[in-house]
Amino acid sequence: MRQTLILSPLVALAFVSNGHAEESGGAPSLNVGGLSITPFGQVDQFVGRSAGYGNDASPGAAPGQPSKVDLLNGGLSTSNLGLRGKQRISEDTDVTFEFSAFVNPEGATYGRSDNKTVSIAGATFAADPLFARAANIGFHNSTLGTLKIGTDINPMFFSAIKSNAFGDSTVFGPLPALMFINSGLSGGTNWQKGVFFDSNAMSGLSVRLAYSFGDEGSAYVSPASANDAAAHSGKNFGASLIYASGPFAANLSYQKVNRDQVVGNFSTSGLSVDNTAAWLVGASWDFGVAKLSAHAGGIRDDSSASSPFYAGTQKVYEASLSVPAGPGDVLLAVGKRDASSDVAATPDVAITADGAPGGNAGRRLATAGYNWHLFKSTDVYALVSSDSTRTKVVDTSNGSVGTYKSTPVDFALGARFSF
């Protein structure tokens, strides 16, 4: 009941339309005493099969594992719902705020999972809190840029989703899936307890910076649902340099994430390892008849090599192409991720179960599809992908180490509504 009561004002504002509402290119804004409030969101669902879900319908839980045909969430974008607002306090400065939640339409819940907790290889971890996507207050200056404090997207994920043909699709998009899902990269996509700065572009060049204070002093408590998503993390830093001029664009990102504490055989970050450093570089060229993008990245696990989730060093490569065709776009992308030989082996009893992380030794993802822009706010899409994984496993009966391989073919027929 509490969840419904909290979300109901967001839903109600999405339908506000009166003498004080004005169009802003999406949903109407409500103006009250100089305060402008705009509802926004996306609902994305598809019928299909994705090995990135496994049989438990938890996105990103088990790439390369068998899955059933089902109604699933987020084929092209992660569904979300939120409010953002601003109020002018001087000639060139606004005070801003944003609250937004990930939503899971098929489970009628908030968060990216349809449960309050997520089970991974026998361990239980807290799922997304309500405003895991964003919860911040800030200041925007027309000359200097924007400063936010609270929860927001980190610079590396922002750069990645803005510079590939599949956007923020962590299910079918090779770049988001390979770089951020079961890759060994810790810290997730959105950071809490952070300070975020986004500069305005000067001669095509802009910078995004983020620093998260974390919660180093907290001890792990049971049950997992009692832990907030920022708990047990150290101090994180991220930066992106972004350039765009005419048909050419490029970006360079770096982040250092500290998780510090380990609970039993699992890191407190849930699906990932402890301390990591990562970089990502990308470039794109819009030829008019097609837009080509390419990226290269790396992830280094700075925790102990004796950790059962030690990810070693990972290398990521991706290329994508978007071709306007009729009322929509043809989308093509390929990518791969390879790990160093010292990556820790996963117990074989875990890799055969739903929800066990897969692809720790390597993953290849290729996706092709068509996105039909049915209306200004609505896309209908069809996608097919090959998701090949190699997982280093240890036989729990005799201690021998081998490789578990899987190459499922996935598909999606879906729709996305944005406002």
- Report the pLDDT value the prediction gives residue 56, as an integer from 0 to 100: 42
Pairwise CA distance, residues 27 & 294, whole Å: 33
CA distance 44 to 396: 40
Look at residue 348 and give its three-state secondary structure: helix
What's the confidence (pLDDT) of residue 123? 42
Token reading at 107: 């489970």
Reduced to 3 states, what is the DSSP secondary structure of residue 386?
A: strand
Q: Which H or E element spans position 5?
A: helix 2-13
pLDDT of residue 233: 57
Task: Give the model's pLDDT for residue 135.
Answer: 96
Give phi and psi for 33, each to the nearest 5.
55, 40
Residue type, 397: S
Q: What is the DSSP string of 270-300?
A: SSS-SSEEEEEEEEEEE-SS-EEEEEEEEEE
Residue 246 Rama label (left phi>0; alpha psi -120 to 50; beta)? left
pTM of this prediction?
A: 0.83
The pLDDT value recorded for residue 128 is 78
Helix (H) or strand (E) holding 174: helix 174-180
What's the confidence (pLDDT) of residue 354? 44
Reduced to 3 states (helix: H, G, I; strand: E, B; else coil), residue 7 is helix
At residue 147, the pLDDT reads 98
Which of 324, 326, 245, 319 is closest to 289 using CA atoms? 324
Question: What residues in the chain have per-residue pLDDT under 70?
Answer: 1-27, 52-67, 113-127, 215-234, 259-274, 348-358
Written as one letter, the residue type at 354 is D
Residues 266, 240: contact at Cβ < 8 Å? no
The pLDDT tens digits for 298-337 are: 999 887 777 777 888 999 999 999 999 999 999 999 999 9
Q: CATH for 40-418?
A: 2.40.160.10
Tens-digit pLDDT profile for residues 141-186: 999 999 999 999 999 999 999 999 999 999 999 999 999 987 888 8
145-153 and 134-141 beta bridge pairing = antiparallel
